[in-house]
Structure 1
Amino acid sequence: MENLLLIFDAVGIFVFAISGALAAVRSGMDLFGIMALSLMPAIGGGTLRDLVLDQPVFWVEGTTPIYIAFAAAGLTFFFSRHLAGKRLTWLTWADAIGLALFCVVGAEKALDVTGSMLIATMMGVVTGAAGGIIRDIICNEIPLVMKKGEIYATATFLGAGSFCLLIHFDVPGPMALWLAMGAAFLARAGGILKGWTLPEALH
């Protein structure tokens, strides 16, 4: 399970960094801006999670996440011209994949540290959603999580919560990771492709 968590974390950092870099390109930022903004979704949520849990910040303990994010930013910088007209689509899907991966990685770490399903679910949501919020605010855009009808934070809650429940019912760790990640991604994908929304209060 530890190796799978490392893979999930690395892939999540990579695709979230791509989403940040694409957002920077769409905003007309230069190479420095692209590199800097790639870090926001890649490490922002995990940093907040570690600070709240009073744990060593993951990218300070080992700098590999920074190099992964910069590699993703560099690739985006060089190939972004080929994505002209499709950058928002690529950003949206990179964000969806990163969200699904990070919410279960965050939940697993918090569950291991605290043993609380509630706290683990909350930290999964933070890990999956906070970095994207920072990215969008820097780009002067309404964060996806705040947009009316978006299945975004709900997807992270579903992924993190289902992971905790699966572990509680003794589902093997790797299977729990895959199932929870899949649930989060499908929920977000449904929102993107099918317009799934949560019900609103009656006026």
Structure 2
Amino acid sequence: MDALAQTLTVLDYAAVAVFGASGALAAARRKHDIITFGFFAAVTGVGGGTLRDLLIDAPVFWVARPEYLAVCLLGAVAIWIFGWGQGRERLLLWLDAVGMAAYTVVGALKAVSLGVPPGSAIVMGVLTSTFGGIIRDVLAEEPSVLLRRELYVTPALLGAAVFVGLNTLGMALVIAGALGFAAAFGVRAGAILFGWQMPGFPGRT
């Protein structure tokens, strides 16, 4: 269990760093100053976890552990120093997929560990991994991830459902977490590589 806790902690920090970098990247596209870089990075990095903790009435994770904010700011500084060329943006897209999958499992696990019912725990996993990006897009005046046909929220929903479902059935946390991560990342990877989309509303002729 100690090894699992350590792994989850590493994934947690890694996801926050990647999301923070993606927030700074949005600021870079708009050519904002370094302060705005840091703000975008912090809001994106901890936004989803903050909403989750408020909804499940848990202490907001970064208030007692400000190192999470420091990790976000490091991501912002990295984007500021090294820039955001096309190659780096593509790399960040893949890192974001890894962070999304990891944060989905971490968010759902925290909810489950606090006695949140399975259905609500799935929602908490999705919010943890996507809400920061929603805030980022609103602040940067970019199309929201909710409005894009490209799969993003759907992989998070699938990953959270797989993890929570398997955990409810009694599967070991490490296995359920690995399978939930694989499900979320696999579908997101398909969306990046092959343009997978959910079918749109056909309407009436």
Q: Is the 8 A contact 2:56 2:116 kept in 1?
A: no
Unaligned 5+ runs, structure 2? none
Give the deviation of 1:67 after TM superposition: 1.1
User: How far 1:87 sits from its partner (Å)?
Assistant: 5.1
TM-score w.r.t. the length of structure 2 is 0.92
Corresponding residue SS for 1:114? coil
Are the aligned partners of 1:129 and 1:145 in contact in 2 as well (CA < 8 Å)? Answer: no
Within-5 A mapping of 1:1-203: 1-80=4-83, 83-86=84-87, 88-147=89-148, 149-203=149-203
Following superposition, the deviation at residue 197 of structure 1 comes to 1.2
Residues in 2 aligned to 1:89 and 1:12: alpha-carbon distance in whole angstroms:
17
Displacement after TM superposition at 1:86 (Å): 3.7
Give the secondary structure class of the aligned counterpart of 1:196: coil
Aligned partner letter, 1:102: Y
Output one character per residue of 1:127-155: Cα deviation in whole Å (capped at 9) or x when no partner.
011000000110001112211x2211101
Shift of 1:201: 3.3
Task: Say whether the 8 Å CA contact 1:18–1:94 is kept in structure 2.
Answer: no
**Identical aligned residues as a percent:** 37
One-letter amino acid matched to 1:73: A
TM-score, with length taken from structure 1: 0.93
User: Over residues 105-142 of structure 1, what are the superposed CA-to-partner deviations in whole Å (9 max), with x where a residue is unaligned?
Assistant: 11001111134110100001110110000001100011
How many pairs align? Answer: 200
- Any conservation in 1 of the 2:111–2:124 contact (CA below 8 Å)? yes
**Structure 1 residues 34, 90: CA separation in 2 closer, same or farther (over 3 Å shift)?**
farther
Shift of 1:88: 4.1
Give the aligned CA root-mean-square deviation in angstroms.
1.4
CA distance in 2, matches of 1:87, 1:163: 31
Query: In 2 relative to 1, CA 108–54 (structure 1 residues): closer, same or farther, beyond 3 Å?
Result: same
Deviation at 1:74, TM superposition (A): 1.2
* In structure 2, C-alpha distance between the alignment counterparts of 1:190 and 1:129, rounded to whole Å: 18
The residue type equivalent to 2:33 in the other structure is D
